[in-house]
Amino acid sequence: MRGWLLDPSRSEGRLRWQEDLPEPHAGAGEVRVRVAACGVCHTDLHELDGELPPPRPVVPGHQVVGRIDELGEGVEGLRAGMRVGVPWLWSSCGRCEYCRRGEENLCESPRFTGLHVDGGYAEWMVAPAEAVLPLPEIYDDAEAAPLLCAGLIGYRSLRLSGVEPGGRLGLFGFGASAHLTLQVARRMGMEVYVFSRGEAHRRLALELGASWAGAAGEEPPHLLDGAITFAPAGAVVPPALAVLRRGGTLAINAVHMDRLPEMPYRLLYHERSLKTVANLTREDGRRFMAVAGAGRLEVRVEAFPLERAPEALEAVRRSRLQGSAVLLV
């Protein structure tokens, strides 16, 4: 099997192209997916850079679209040939207090796709049958891939921001996740205010329905009911808090962040709150796919052949994209 292997033990050249990766097979309760497309995510960069190191050499990639071509023993409700997506959450323990409360995103012993188990930067992968998501047919394979992380985690962040329909939402950073979150928020009747240092990103935000777009540090025309930060940089947090109304919530959408800077207490005073967004639940996946399937979202992608994964990762690192990078297998 062809694909990419990320070896955290190497000081250089951690991501290596392999022509002879072992072809996986579905075990009990699992399905094998022949990969058609896999989105490229900032989390992949955190793994590559050693900020979120895999515990062993692993095939990265957690926005996986493909078709089931092998069913393990005991799998029901799925069939060979069905198109499915495999998101970040590969499995949860089902036993800890968080799982028992329905908060599997906070599981004490989770396993994540492309971190603990092989992901989608290869021709095949396996996943638990309960983890895969049927995908709306209105999106092709490349368009569907970003829905599985950029879309999903943006949707969870939107929920945790506490902004109600008709309210004012701020988005700090305008990459793959934010451009989908903006559209969902607009569909819910929210006004969206986008903060980005990139002029092209600000133009895209306005094209997609933002009420206002400016640089981080600029004052929007109104205080915001809630906001989401997408950049893995703690320096964004103080200016985001500064434009919240009293009682507003800032949701931090980052699996890794450099540091939170020291800041004056007045930014948090008046019952403003900070909330981190951790992973996702399978219920998040089902709800978001229903939203995405109810009316077409504009998913902007730049496609790369699987063999050019390093080029795609570098484009994500340098914010050279208007939307999402996707590997086509």
| Three-class secondary structure assignment of 246-307 | EEEEEEECCCCCCCCCCCCHHHCCCCCEEEECCCCCHHHHHHHHHHHHHCCCCCCEEEEEHH
Write down the pLDDT at residue 319.
83
Given a contact cutoff of 8 angstroms between Cβ atoms, the answer to whether 53 and 46 are in contact is no
Write down the pLDDT at residue 320.
84
Positions of the chain with pLDDT under 50: none
The Cα–Cα gap between 318 and 313 comes to 9
The Cα–Cα gap between 92 and 285 comes to 15
Give pLDDT tens digits for 200-251: 899 999 999 999 999 878 999 999 999 999 988 889 999 999 999 999 999 9
Write down the pLDDT at residue 312.
97
The Cα–Cα gap between 227 and 224 comes to 7
The token pair that represents 47 in the structure block? 């793994």
Q: Which listed CATH number (1.10.600.10, 3.40.50.720, 3.30.110.30, 3.30.565.10) goes with 151-276?
A: 3.40.50.720
Write down the pLDDT at residue 112.
97
Write down the pLDDT at residue 138.
97
Exposure letters 257-277 (e unless 16+ CB within 10 A, then b):
beeeeeeeeebeeeebeeeeb
Looking at domain 3-149+279-328, its CATH architecture is Alpha-Beta Complex (3.90)
Write down the pLDDT at residue 262.
92
- Enumerate the domain spans of the chain: 3-149+279-328, 151-276
Write down the pLDDT at residue 11.
81
Phi/psi class of residue 242: alpha, beta or left (left: φ > 0; alpha: ψ in -120 to 50)? alpha
Write down the pLDDT at residue 233.
86
Give CA 291 to chain center in angstroms.
16
DSSP lists the bridge partners of residue 216 as none
What does the DSSP 8-state code read for residue 131?
G
Given a contact cutoff of 8 angstroms between Cβ atoms, the answer to whether 289 and 155 are in contact is no
